Amino acid sequence: MPWWKPNRTVVRSSGDATASAGGVAVSGAVGSIQIGGPPPARSAYREQVRRFAPSRLVGRDEEMATLVRFCTAPEGSGPYAWWRAPAWTGKSALMATFVLTPPAGVRVVSFFVTSRWAGQSDRVAFTDAVGEQLAQLTGQPAPGLVTEATRDGVFLDLLREASAFCRERGERLILVVDGLDEDRGVTTGADGHSIAALLPAEPPDGLRIIVAGRPDPPIPSDVPDRHPLRDPGIVRTLAPSAYAEVVREAAERELDRLADGTPAEQELLGLLTAARGGLSGQDLAELTTLSPRRIAKQLGAASARTFSRRAQQWRPDADVYLLGHEELQKRAEALLGPGGLARHRERLHVWAGTYRDRGWPEGTPEYLLRGYFDLLTETGDPARMVSAALDAVRHDRMLDLTGGDSFAVAEVTATQDELMRQPGADLLTMIRLARRRDTLRLRNANIPSDLPSLWARLGHPARAEALARAIDDPNDGSRGARAVHSLIQTLRDLGEGDRAESLTPLLKPPYTGIEPPEPEAELPDDADPERLLAEAYDPETRFALLMRLADALPDQAGALLDQAQQELDGFTDADKHWSSSISLAFTLVDRGELDRAESIVRAIRQPDRRDNALAILVGDINSDADEAWAESIVQSLAGSPYWQSWALRRFASSIARSGDIERALAIAERIVVPGDVNIRHHCLREYGDALSEIGLHIVDDDPGLAHRLALRAEQAARSTIEPYARDQALLDIARASARTGTPRVAAEIAAFIVDPQRRRTLAEILMWDAIDQDDHERARKLAEAINDRDGRLASLAVLARITGDVDHAKELTTAISDPEQRILSMAALEGPTGEQETSLARTIGDARQRARILMDIALRSDDPGAPDRVEAEIRAMEDSYERESALAFLLLPRAEAARAERIARSIEDPGLRGQALVNLAGLHVEDPGRVREILVEIPDPFWRDKCRVGLVGIEARLGKLDEAEAVIETITADYDRDNARHVVALAAAESGDHARATALAEMIDDPQTRAETLTGMSAHATGAEAHELLIRAARLGRWTTTLEHLPAAVIGPLADEVLSELRAAS
């Protein structure tokens, strides 16, 4: 690890094993494209407004005229109007009438905050309902892939797009939000946010916003000080309406009558009041002994003043009932009393339990998938909230219903927030909730990197940005970076420069500079090929020169390429042989020499790399003959579904480039999804990538089909969870099990790890645990269970040495085939001797790997001349970048001070020079003054910040926390500043300065970094304080973040739960 990089408490990826239901099939062909795919969004919200709008608005002509003037006033007028009045003044009637009858040239989207209808009174419901209306207005599909982190940004983007859409048509967009005082998000959770705070302080041109509500409660505290909502000049007071007062009196009389009415009337009133609305006639029939017909008759007999009917959100063919006004809801609750409410809510809980016991079947009432959880939240029922938030089957049914996971993630985080408000929150439950949240988030990890650009090209930049922001693959961060980088370029091409620039902060190090490589300098016109070749002394240099000459001298290209092919036989570096073979093969394909190109690739010695190269070749075809040749290669890869799926994706993309879209789709549909979890995940990812790439080729000619391909690509991507993240999480929980005294549970979990390297790592950990307990038989069984042959031999050699059988240990070491692994084993057996190891190291073909191993040997050698020989070995490398890179990263960090100074000054590449100087500074970890001197010399701002982080660590270790904080203020990159605060917070906690540690932790912006900081601080706290720190970390970070600090009482049940799920899944 670099000296400047903080030694985080936990810096691991995490994940879970279970993929969701409702996705692509798990075996056979992935499935065909549905030509009649989903249409653009259609919102039923206007019909909901129509349901509760008065048939005739009485006595409000002046107010309607004021609303019209506000909406049609010229630009420059204020963008906000706030209508205030007490309850029963007629605010909602006025707003609903305006929404349904706007003036000409005005387009209206609206949301009526309804606290008496569970699920219609918070920020999530607001963004969902208004976002769907905005998508319909602009002809987009509904935002399907919205996460907790992206919801607000997607909504604001849709708002900007809709404003521009209206402005281009000479229209004005109006957003109406009624019932701002009924927003439940104002008081929900540590991360609860109000609807008011989401309304833009500077609305885009052409947008005006009308809000309505009571004078109390006051403006939510999360609304910024300078927000227009805090301007008293926007307030308009709505005068009382005599007609509304008559309606109120009549509704209250009728409610009183129902409360004292027939048993059926009392039962229906009690259930609707207890549920806070949202129950359909069929729901009520299941909850009572009444038939749907009688329920409709009973509720129909009551006037519309008492009960309202609304369409369900996702199944608009069925209506739901709720009390007609918030004040009626309060009055009904008072009439029922605590006992009556409790009895009716218990019936709702039993009803929910019957559906849970049935596995949340298709047709589960919408209320149980949305409104019921909001009822649990509002009534403060943490036990049932936990049960619902941990129910994976229920979340899968929600995904089927809503098309996304945003509501499920919101449930999990709301439950965590509720637990944090409870004294002595249960740590095990918080970790289980974090694990569930991570599983939901990982559904977004496989989004094709081209898909955001496709959506942008289809005219849906908000959806494109949401997708790009949602890609969160812990093992392939470059995938998300590629998506963002590609989207930025696409947006710039589309003239969306401002939006493109807003995405650049997402390109965090090391992906900020994703640019194509610099082209090689052209050969001069008077270049003498024979002289140039004579000066090239090794096969790799001659090959590169021959390829350049073949490009520059087309008349001699055939002979030059023949020579280049001959040079391949002299390559010793496997990586360069592989890449050079592909380069030559591509050139030959372009010349039409297909069979020769294939023969060169098939000469690659490593089978996996050979298949990889063959798969790459089929992406470069240009004719029917090429297609037949590519088809034969694809067929030859039938025994390698991993590479065949890659080949089919590239093949399909090539055919799409030629314009044969039907054929390209047929090829993509041949991607087969096998049962092996790793291969399955890869194939589904390739399938989604293929559809996205084909979509990009046809988006201009057939946007309808491109749109359907984009939707299908999303479906494929979300039907699998990244297996390596799953394996890392299993490794982490198994390690924790071993640490807390249950190695046998850890060993059983290890059997489910797919990745050989992680499986080996865990086996070695468990083996050493057994050795420490003198259980050599268990240690031997663990070593023998390692799948990797060399790893198994190395572990058995260690065990033989420990048990005194040195000769057998040497035999096992000699049998190890990998030179590096054998050298490490020899070092463990023989100590600092180096001659045999050095000889073996010189057989390694890869120059960089050879130099690294020789450096390791030199450091263990008693020979003072060994470092000189290693430096000579590195300086003999032909490739200047490889040479300077090896000097900067391999030799310099381990060299004595004088040699390190000389090496750092000798490096000419500007980027490598900055890195070399940072590594030079790392040799002076006890001398902050010298580090500051070197810092001044570093030319690259990126590496200057890395050095500053290291300097912060030095000052912190020396106890100079004030100096360390001063350095933090000079760091420019957010990522590095967070890392530096992490370092100082832990140093402060270790020194007992808990106030400073807490303040620094709260300043860290990245949730995962803050979680790791809190976890580290817990090691220096005791009792309730440590418990609270771990609770907060579990709320913010990945579920494995806190494992190293959890007690056995938490690890044990957690590991048992993981193991139980693994057994069930197998």
CATH number of residue 545's parent domain: 1.25.10
Domain identity same for 190 and 84? yes
Considering the domain boundaries, does residue 1016 fall inside one? no
Mean of per-residue pLDDT scores for the chain: 82
HEC string for 205-247:
CCEEEEEEECCCCCCCCCCCCCCHHHCHHHEEECCCCHHHHHH
The two three-digit tokens of residue 742, written as one number: 């249950």
pLDDT (average), residues 365-388:
93
What distance in Å separates the CA atoms of residue 407 and residue 746, rounded to the nearest whole number? 34
**Residues 504-513: contacts with CB under 8 Å, at least 24 apart:** 505/974, 506/468, 506/469, 506/480, 507/481, 508/974, 508/975, 509/942, 509/973, 509/975, 509/976, 511/477, 511/478, 511/481, 511/485, 512/942
Considering the domain boundaries, does residue 613 fall inside one? yes
- Whether residue 24 is predicted with pLDDT greater than 50 in this model: the reply is no
Domain identity same for 168 and 284? no
pTM for this one? 0.70
pLDDT tens-digit series, residues 772-781: 888 888 888 8
Considering the domain boundaries, does residue 389 fall inside one? no
Domain identity same for 586 and 476? no
The reported pLDDT for the residue numbered 678 is 65
Considering the domain boundaries, does residue 9 fall inside one? no
Confidence of residue 207 (pLDDT cuts 50, 70, 90): very high
The DSSP 8-state label assigned to residue 149 in this structure reads T
Asked whether 491 and 503 are in contact (CB, 8 A), the reply is: yes
The two three-digit tokens of residue 776, written as one number: 């050599």
The reported pLDDT for the residue numbered 13 is 32
The residue among 691 and 869 whose pLDDT is bigger is 691
Domain identity same for 205 and 75? yes
If you average pLDDT over each of 312-321, 480-489, 668-677, which comes out highest?
A: 480-489
The reported pLDDT for the residue numbered 368 is 95
Q: In b/e form, how buried is each residue of 1027-1060, taking b as 16+ CB within 10 angstroms?
A: bbbbbbbbbbbbbbbbbbbbeeebbbebbebbbe
Domain identity same for 85 and 175? yes
pLDDT tens-digit series, residues 57-84: 888 999 999 999 999 988 777 899 999 9
Sheet of strand 307-311, all strands in order from the earlier edge strand to the far edge: 279-280, 319-323, 307-311
The reported pLDDT for the residue numbered 119 is 62
Considering the domain boundaries, does residue 443 fall inside one? no
Which residue from 808, 810, 854 is spatially nearest to 835, judged by alpha carbons? Answer: 854
Mark which of 310, 339, 368 sits at the end of a domain: 339
If you average pLDDT over each of 11-15, 251-255, 624-628, which comes out highest?
A: 251-255
Considering the domain boundaries, does residue 774 fall inside one? no
pLDDT tens-digit series, residues 159-182: 988 999 999 999 999 999 998 888
The residue among 167 and 857 whose pLDDT is bigger is 167
Mark which of 207, 240, 273 sits at the end of a domain: 240
- Whether residue 681 is predicted with pLDDT greater than 90 in this model: the reply is no
Considering the domain boundaries, does residue 19 fall inside one? no
CA distances, 608 to each of 70, 565, 808 (Å) = 68, 21, 33
Domain identity same for 87 and 226? yes
Work out how many domains the chain is built from and give that number. 5
Domain identity same for 575 and 669? yes
pLDDT tens-digit series, residues 1001-1020: 999 988 999 999 999 999 99
What distance in Å separates the CA atoms of residue 760 and residue 777, rounded to the nearest whole number? 18
pLDDT (average), residues 15-39:
34
Sheet of strand 106-112, all strands in order from the earlier edge strand to the far edge: 106-112, 172-178, 207-213, 80-84, 235-237
Q: Which domain holds residue 130?
A: 53-240
- Whether residue 191 is predicted with pLDDT greater than 60 in this model: the reply is no
CATH number of the domain enclosing 265:
1.10.10.10
Confidence of residue 141 (pLDDT cuts 50, 70, 90): low
DSSP H or E segment with residue 320 = strand 319-323
CATH number of the domain enclosing 220:
3.40.50.300
- Whether residue 509 is predicted with pLDDT greater than 60 in this model: the reply is no
Which residue from 747, 724, 632, 746 is spatially nearest to 677, judged by alpha carbons? Answer: 724
pLDDT tens-digit series, residues 94-104: 999 999 999 99
Q: What share of the chain in percent tops pLDDT 70?
A: 84
pLDDT (average), residues 419-429:
91
For residue 509, count other CB atoms closer than 10 A to its CB: 12
Pairing verdict, β 172-178 and 106-112? parallel
At 318, the amino acid letter reads A
Cα maximum dimension of the chain: 108
- Whether residue 1028 is predicted with pLDDT greater than 50 in this model: the reply is yes
CB within 8 Å of 153: residues ≥ 6 apart: 465, 466, 469
Domain identity same for 249 and 233? no
Considering the domain boundaries, does residue 1017 fall inside one? no
Q: How distant is the alpha carbon of residue 431 from its chain centre? A: 19
- Whether residue 274 is predicted with pLDDT greater than 90 in this model: the reply is yes
DSSP H or E segment with residue 307 = strand 307-311
Which residue from 620, 378, 741, 336 is spatially nearest to 633, judged by alpha carbons? Answer: 620
The residue among 656 and 534 whose pLDDT is bigger is 656
Confidence of residue 449 (pLDDT cuts 50, 70, 90): confident
Confidence of residue 184 (pLDDT cuts 50, 70, 90): low
Domain identity same for 70 and 149? yes
Mark which of 806, 831, 856 sits at the end of a domain: 831
The reported pLDDT for the residue numbered 239 is 87
Domain identity same for 194 and 334? no
Domain identity same for 677 and 545? yes
pLDDT (average), residues 832-847:
64
Q: Find the range with the poorest average confidence among 233-237, 333-337, 389-393, 828-832.
A: 828-832
Confidence of residue 887 (pLDDT cuts 50, 70, 90): confident
The reported pLDDT for the residue numbered 517 is 42
Domain identity same for 246 and 230? no
Which residue from 226, 146, 153 is spatially nearest to 505, judged by alpha carbons? Answer: 153
Asked whether 137 and 162 are in contact (CB, 8 A), the reply is: yes
